[in-house]
Structure 1
């Protein structure tokens, strides 16, 4: 569908300190706490299910209409979440009030992030999965963490060294093997190109979100980004209404699932994790998404992975464990 982001680890992995506006990195709080690990695991599972959900609902919904329906559901869920948080806390930073919202250039960048990820990424991925299976799409999008890890070194000042570098390299080999197993079939060239475009938008979104999380909290950013993405997708409203009338209930429930779970909940947990981990380390964890997607698509859609894909998935897992362990 998406996602998609989530204190620095102790040695041996070190990174150049980043500016941050969150309270989570202060007073020497230990990174990779169990809440953060659990949030990362939740994100991986929900984002993997999104690839399967898109493949399932894509038989009855066109790419733009599905993206709009998904984001309407996500925006509604996030609005409820923000309203509840605002009620439970006295004047929290995440409350949707004039004094708590970003302004000027920051607000513009949040809107750009929302349009690129919630709008462009969703439409491109939806279109790709009409031409390639869910597992192959996930494997191609998995190129994004490599782009993020490299760009994090150049843009965010992070250092891709030691354990993280080796883990990323091993995971990349795994992704390459799984992708190669997909290309032995009948991979559509346009579908592959659209999936690669999704990966580029994914990487751009992660880097921009990491920067913006230094200025605001993850729930507010996710909520505003979802509203911006929804607004950008409004031209697809007439098509969505037509397809809603004709689509079977399971497909419509699939679109609603994509909005509430992989998008609303998945992006909240992703933002939580990225605000505590570096961009490179967080996206290294998302190498788990392709093998989980392959397993889900095998179980739910009957798309049986090739032995080479299973080997690649094992390498992905090995790379993630190696990159994220202390």
Structure 2
């Protein structure tokens, strides 16, 4: 009877975690098409990201303060985690990606960054002796193959070792996002971690722009999408509240429920969400090879989930 109860609890946890992961991936996937609209209206990419994370911080900080209930010692005890989250998982990943695409094609940079789940698997194996099952490895291979097809790399791409180095740094930052999200003993609410990390990351991005590492400029021009034109501020508001605040909070919840490994592979669904939103908002219809890649990603996530169900429970700590 106890075994049945435990299995039911595990399955409920997995179900809740997968729901949070899908919400997070879908929210993150909306950011690209909205950001493209703003950039077409004259915004720099760094300005879009800085405003996005700072708006999210403004939304989450009051909620986080209420959750702390005056326990500022909890905040101080987790200061290093929050700082690392903001510097590495938020601003570090974004800055590395911007520098990567300055030296190489966007598709190649994305492909390298989205190999983060493999880095998560390697980290958990080396750090915590959490060896992946054969099923998990097969699912990982399917997911990465699908990712390659979705990005649809073309022939004749140039290679930049500087760009590759920056893209690898972005991949490490993305992997750190999943590892840090699962870190802790559960005493620090996910909203507090997200709010502190986003505020830290946003301020770092502003500082990077001030000293010239990334260009910061914005306009008040209308934003044009496929079937409609809108003022600049609604996309900014949605970027901050949905694609950052909701995305990071649900992503942290998913990682704590699923563990870094399964959450990182489920996050590949962000690529599918981005394709769908780009089709809807920008008129960029996916090609057949991308649809095939999307199907492989979905199959890969399902297979990885089965592999995780077969993995004995183990602590998932950084």
Is the shorter-chain TM-score for this pair beyond 0.5, marking a shared fold? Answer: yes
**Residues 188 and 96 of structure 1, relative CA distance in 2, 3 Å threshold:** farther
Instruction: Work out whether 1:159 is the aligned partner of 2:131.
Output: yes
- Other-structure match for 2:122: 150
Matches of 1:174 and 1:302 in 2, distance apart? 22
Displacement of 1:285 in angstroms is 0.8
- Give CA deviations for 1:152-199 in whole Å, capped at 9, x if unaligned: 2112432211432221121122123334x2334878968777555432
Of the three residues 268, 277, 281, the one matched with 2:262 is 281
Indicate if the aligned counterparts of 1:82 and 1:220 stay in contact, CA closer than 8 A: yes
Equivalence map 1:21-100=2 (5 Å)? 30-59=11-40, 60-83=42-65, 86=66, 94-95=68-69, 97-100=71-74
Displacement of 1:46 in angstroms is 0.5
Indicate if the aligned counterparts of 1:213 and 1:275 stay in contact, CA closer than 8 A: no
Indicate if the aligned counterparts of 2:90 and 2:201 stay in contact, CA closer than 8 A: yes
- Other-structure match for 1:320: 301
- Other-structure match for 1:216: 188
Matches of 1:262 and 1:278 in 2, distance apart? 22
Equivalence map 1:237-276=2 (5 Å)? 243-248=217-222, 250-276=231-257
- Other-structure match for 1:301: 282
Of the three residues 153, 156, 159, the one matched with 1:182 is 153
- Other-structure match for 1:18: none
Matches of 2:239 and 2:98 in 1, distance apart? 12
Matches of 1:213 and 1:53 in 2, distance apart? 36
**Residues 245 and 322 of structure 1, relative CA distance in 2, 3 Å threshold:** closer
**Residues 63 and 202 of structure 1, relative CA distance in 2, 3 Å threshold:** same
Gaps of 5+ in 2: 224-230, 310-318
- Other-structure match for 1:16: none
Q: Secondary structure at the match of 2:182?
A: helix
Matches of 1:64 and 1:193 in 2, distance apart? 19
**Residues 187 and 300 of structure 1, relative CA distance in 2, 3 Å threshold:** farther
Indicate if the aligned counterparts of 2:47 and 2:218 stay in contact, CA closer than 8 A: no
Equivalence map 1:11-26=2 (5 Å)? none
Displacement of 1:68 in angstroms is 1.8
TM-score (norm 1): 0.75
- Other-structure match for 2:92: 120
Q: Secondary structure at the match of 1:298?
A: helix
Matches of 1:166 and 1:209 in 2, distance apart? 25
Indicate if the aligned counterparts of 2:44 and 2:218 stay in contact, CA closer than 8 A: no
**Residues 124 and 247 of structure 1, relative CA distance in 2, 3 Å threshold:** farther
Displacement of 1:251 in angstroms is 4.0
Displacement of 1:227 in angstroms is 1.8
Q: Secondary structure at the match of 1:182?
A: coil
Displacement of 1:322 in angstroms is 1.6
Matches of 1:169 and 1:247 in 2, distance apart? 44
Q: Secondary structure at the match of 2:247?
A: helix
Indicate if the aligned counterparts of 1:51 and 1:137 stay in contact, CA closer than 8 A: no
Displacement of 1:309 in angstroms is 2.1
